[in-house]
A and B are shown apart, each in its own frame.
Chain A
Amino acid sequence: MTAESPRPSLAGLFSGFFTAGLSGFGGVLPFARRIMVERRAWLTAAEFSDLFSLCQFLPGPNVVNLAAAFGARQRGLMGAMIAIAGLLAAPVAIVIGLGAVYERIGSIPAVHHALLGLAAGAAGLFAAAALRIAWPAARRPAHAGVVGLAFALFGVLHLPLPVVIAIATPLSVLVAWRQHR
């Protein structure tokens, strides 16, 4: 945290993350970054990357972790809860509304077919996002090997997630350690 960066109030935390949550279709991260770094200048770009790498590393929804970590750093536990509440208030309300409509009309054939089309489209968007995330991680051959291994253990052999993590992570640490020498 640099000395001159403004320390957001609880209301500021709520409104900042509220805006990010409401604008983030198919990924909140770019919007959260724009608000935290560019619009409100809470963090420098480097401080943001640093904080986000922690949130990716820890389990849980990455952007929720980001709200928790940043909120806690600024305003303690209350700050963390306020930031998360801001981030999720609108999306949770919207998705509950959509879900309630689905429970009513989801079994009408035309609606069901539209939803299957929607699911196929959403799967395509998800696959594109996954490729965008995995591509930079697979630049070096050794890292690409780890990406391939995790993919095969989890996606092809269907091993449970904790088992996959227990096998792939030590190997990946070894690869990263050798390259850091």
Chain B
Amino acid sequence: MILLVLLGLFAGLSLIAIGGVASTLPAMARAVVAHHWMSAPQFAALFGLAQTSPGPNMLIATLIGLHVAGLAGALVATLGMIGPSSLLTVLVAGVWERFRSARWRLILQAAITPVSGGLILAAALVVVRAADHGPPAWALTVVVMLVSLRVRLHPLVLLAAAAALGAALF
């Protein structure tokens, strides 16, 4: 039953997504290719598509679900990605509030930031590798990255320019 497989995959990713969904992108890419749902470049294209929509970056799960099992797949993948982690958050939120100034909480908080920072950098490397086949694509990624770091432009402007350049040059 494909919907159960989707639900199981994303519910599992939901619970290990420390630092956000980005850190699960490598595992997600590996899983969809291993299931023969899509190729690595197709995953990259879906990731690009997800980035053009407003909203949190977990929308890649919605798109994978849609690709694999239509509308029902999209909804199941979305619920799988947000369900377990949201439930955990609701359960822990009350406890966290109570230990607002506890020393162990401050230490945990200080400890988690560098770990998730490293995970996100690694996820970025994986995304870049998945998205870019050949020097023109690498160059485009580097240019967009530098422009985004230096200039305040709406992300959609940069994405539209990248799509136009891709159609013209690739």
Contacts and interface: CB of A to CB of B under 8 A. Distances in A.
Given A123-B132, A180-B107, A115 B49 contact: yes
Interface in B3-23: 14-23
Contacts of A77: 90
Interface string A99-114: 1101100100011111
Interface residues of B, number: 104
Contact of A138 (B71, B112, B114): B114
A61 B48 contact: no
Contacts of B109: 53, 57
A87 interface: yes
Nearest to B145: A124
A134 B88 CA distance: 25
Contacts of A51: 93
A154 B114 CA distance: 14
B18 A59 contact: yes
Interface string A115-151: 1111111111111111111101110000110111111
B56 A128 contact: no
Interface string A8-51: 00000000000001111111100000000000000000000011
Contacts of A68: 86, 89-90, 93
A69 interface: yes
**Central interface residue in A80, A120, A133, by most chain B CB within 10 Å:** A120
Nearest to A22: B54
Contacts of A50: 100
Interface of B: 14-24, 26-27, 41, 44-59, 62-63, 66-67, 71, 74, 78, 81-82, 84-86, 88-90, 92-94, 96-97, 100, 103, 106-128, 130-133, 137-138, 140-146, 148-149, 154-156, 158-159, 161-167, 169-170
10 contacts: A54-B96, A84-B82, A96-B71, A114-B167, A120-B132, A122-B47, A130-B22, A131-B124, A147-B118, A148-B118
Given A53-B109, A57-B112, A122-B50, 4 more contacts: A51-B93, A61-B17, A102-B45, A127-B127
